[in-house]
Structure 1
Amino acid sequence: MLTTEILPNIDRPTSMRAIVLAKASEQIRLSDVQLPLPECDEHELLVKVEYVGLNPIDAHFAKTGFSQWQYPHILGLDAVGIVVQAKKGLFPNIGDRVMWHANIGQQGVLSEYAKVPNFAVSVVPANVMASEAATLPCAGMTALIALDKLQIVQGDTILIEAGAGAVGQFAIQFAKERGADVFTTAAKHNHKLVKKLGADAIFDYHDKKLCQKIRLALGPQGFDAVLDSVGGDSTMRNIELMRFCGRIACLRPLPNIDQELMFRKAPNIGIVSLAGAWLANSLCAQQKMSFMSNQLLDALAKGSIQTPDITLIEFNAEQISRALHTQVNGGFTGKQVVKIFA
């Protein structure tokens, strides 16, 4: 029978602080509470959480709720921390710093401790800062999945919407690494940033002549691929800008697409959903997420990618509520990261 090991020199309490949502609402009112430590099964690790990266999806579901949530619900999906308890022989080892993207259907990670299946985590290299690692899971994996669905290869032309957003920043860097010609949209004050990341052509998404200017720069052939992170009318505009049988990866729900446009362009449409790996109970997809996490951490450790600028948020309900409202309002460049332990 396996025995449980606990990291020495860690004063592990019986309860923990957590930031919870009593109910979903437009106001996003969070509370700071004390809860019992999670109980782990034989394949789960108990992690002392150091940093949590905030994402637009956190703010979205704080407003609308999620069908599988039980309340009060702990928010947060992207975490980095130290393994403090695990069954003997389980990898990663006690004392390792790990990073993961949590199961959206279960309690989140905005708490002093969290549990996670051992196969869903990646060990953070010694030369990667924990706060930087916390920016990677949701945005970085979303970018990688989208580029894989788009089958980006050398010489492709790709439009990456919202290039200054966290997903956009990672997508630009990885698309350039694969040899693509990258077009992107961003507010004017972010043009210098996305140019530095590798974008070949940049357009102001506020420009009323956006389509005409893109066509003038692109030529008549249309994009080979589009990473559509905006949705709505932008999805139909992007399909119009694609070549016949072009490829589009959508991060938002699909709008009602005009049938004539569908017949004329015959787009290959892919849907990106990190949450699906958990909701579909797909062990293969969950393990693939760990593989992608390793890829992201390796790229960061080698210096081949850079993370968005980090804004540290205090671990309290008021500050995190404000940060989530910032996510909802949009126009935020960089990544908000909650510092829990460090």
Structure 2
Amino acid sequence: MKAVLLTGHGGPEKLEYREDVPAPEPAAGEVLIEVGAAGVNNTDLWTREGAYGAADDPEATGGWRRGEAMGFPRIQGMDVAGRIVAVGDGVAGTRVGERVLVDPTLYAGEGNGLIGAGFIGSERDGGFAEYVAVPAGNAHPVGSALGDEELATFPTAYVTAQRMLKRARLKSGETVLVTGASGGVGSALVQLAKARGAYVVAVAGPGKEERVREIGADAVLARGTPDLPAAASEASGGRPIDAVADVVGGDSFAGLLNALRPEGRYVVAGAIAGPSVGLDLRTVYLNHLEIIGSTMGTREDFADVVRHVTDGRVRPLLAGVYPLRDLGRAQEDFGRKSFFGKLVVVPR
């Protein structure tokens, strides 16, 4: 089959397009999916670059499981939409022909274990290929008129956003400040927060403000706005900021904490502007703030996303489609962040 192999940590030169890669066979409890489209994510870039570090050395080269060496070659690609074409032992043959969206999380142990969990496309081969084998429970049937390219914009970004909002306990009528709102997770946060009945103040790259309003944000601030706490208060019409959903980190961290009301909640699931931040602990303890880490999502979170997609409560934000052989270019374009929404690749 056609596939792109990641041959080691490094730049796009580590991605090798081949047409002679053996197609996988589904093991017991697995299904084989003919890939219609696969989305590009920050995790793909960070994994390729070995940018996750280690627990005792943030600058170390390492994969998603910090301190654990990755196996190469690896086929990346977490966000898969396609159709089941074969099943392994123990899986009902009636599943052949199902159109599915793939939950990318490889849960640790029984149930929803997220500590120590892995990812399809990181700890096992993923969707940047014509075929991928995945655990049957990760392949969710999806009934939608959307194309595979559109469906592939949802999995990682939307399940990450859904988990963040659950962890932050965001309720109807509350106000949430969302960073990185023109990216995959940020735009998912805007839509899912609105679906919960929240008032959304979004931070987006200059020139993308109107697009963020179109997907539901009540107010939008340009990235780099001076005095973020004051600007957020003005943008919210004086409403207190109950929660911050952050995927950016970096220099904006202190301003985001200062924007929160007393007893507010800050949840983070990314650090695209830098993982090391300055923290004045007095801001945290004097205001009784909560700082919450979040990543991936549970099986229930993913099922929630599939229902939102099926019901049309969230919309795909497809920014670009690339042929599989151009995955390196797709990842480079993704890193530039000049688009709005998500980029996907198609094997055919």
- Do they fold alike, i.e. is TM over 0.5? yes
Cα separation, partners in 2 of 1:28 and 1:263, compared to 1, 3 Å? farther
Q: Residue 281 of structure 2 aligns to which amino acid in structure 1?
A: Q
Q: Which residue of 2 aligns with 1:298?
A: 307
Cα separation, partners in 2 of 1:220 and 1:311, compared to 1, 3 Å? closer
Q: Which residue of 1 aligns with 2:331?
A: 324
For 1:237-258, what per-residue CA distance to the aligned partner results, in whole angstroms no more than 9, with x for missing partners?
2111111221111013563522
Q: Which residue of 1 aligns with 2:7?
A: 22
Q: Report SS of the residue matched to 1:48.
A: strand
Q: CA RMSD in A?
A: 2.1
Shift of 1:220: 6.7
Shift of 1:68: 4.2
CA separation in 1, counterparts of 2:232 and 2:255? Answer: 11
Q: Report SS of the residue matched to 2:267.
A: strand
Could you list the runs of 5+ residues in structure 2 that have no partner in the other structure? 51-61, 105-118
Q: Which residue of 1 aligns with 2:107?
A: none
Q: Tell me whether 1:42 sits opposite 2:42 in the alignment.
A: no
Q: Tell me whether 1:169 sits opposite 2:187 in the alignment.
A: yes
Q: Residue 96 of structure 1 aligns to which amino acid in structure 2?
A: E
Q: Which residue of 1 aligns with 2:70?
A: 69
Which of 246, 250, 254 matches 1:232? 250
Q: Report SS of the residue matched to 2:207.
A: helix
CA separation in 2, counterparts of 1:204 and 1:314? Answer: 33
Which of 26, 32, 36 matches 2:17? 32
Q: Which residue of 2 aligns with 1:263?
A: 285
Q: Residue 333 of structure 1 aligns to which amino acid in structure 2?
A: F
Q: Segments of 4+ in structure 1 off by > 6 A?
A: none
For 1:25-47, what per-residue CA distance to the aligned partner results, in whole angstroms no more than 9, with x for missing partners?
14553111222222332101111
TM-score by length of 1: 0.84
For 1:64-86, what per-residue CA distance to the aligned partner results, in whole angstroms no more than 9, with x for missing partners?
25134211121111111211111
Shift of 1:330: 2.4
Whether contact under 8 Å (2:35, 2:131) holds in the other structure is: yes
Query: Mapping of 1:1-342 within 5 angstroms?
Result: 16-33=1-18, 34-64=20-50, 65-66=62-63, 67-87=68-88, 90-91=91-92, 93-102=95-104, 103=119, 104-218=122-236, 222-252=240-270, 253=275, 255-274=277-296, 285=298, 288=299, 291-316=300-325, 319-341=326-348
Whether contact under 8 Å (1:235, 1:254) holds in the other structure is: no
Q: Which residue of 2 aligns with 1:282?
A: none
CA separation in 2, counterparts of 1:121 and 1:270? Answer: 29
Q: Report SS of the residue matched to 2:304.
A: helix
Cα separation, partners in 2 of 1:220 and 1:68, compared to 1, 3 Å? same
Cα separation, partners in 2 of 1:32 and 1:217, compared to 1, 3 Å? closer
Flag the structure with larger Rg: 1
Whether contact under 8 Å (1:50, 1:130) holds in the other structure is: yes
CA separation in 2, counterparts of 1:204 and 1:186? Answer: 5
Whether contact under 8 Å (2:38, 2:78) holds in the other structure is: yes
Q: Residue 311 of structure 1 aligns to which amino acid in structure 2?
A: G
CA separation in 2, counterparts of 1:204 and 1:126? Answer: 34
Shift of 1:118: 0.6
For 1:193-226, what per-residue CA distance to the aligned partner results, in whole angstroms no more than 9, with x for missing partners?
1111111111111333444322333477741100
Q: Residue 82 of structure 2 aligns to which amino acid in structure 1?
A: G
Q: Which residue of 1 aligns with 2:113?
A: none
Whether contact under 8 Å (1:223, 1:241) holds in the other structure is: yes
CA separation in 1, counterparts of 2:203 and 2:194? Answer: 16
Cα separation, partners in 2 of 1:57 and 1:267, compared to 1, 3 Å? same
CA separation in 1, counterparts of 2:189 and 2:238? Answer: 24
- Relative to its length, the structure with more helix (as a share) is 1
CA separation in 1, counterparts of 2:149 and 2:237? Answer: 42
TM-score by length of 2: 0.83
Q: Which residue of 1 aligns with 2:108?
A: none
For 1:161-199, what per-residue CA distance to the aligned partner results, in whole angstroms no more than 9, with x for missing partners?
111112122211111121111101112321111111111
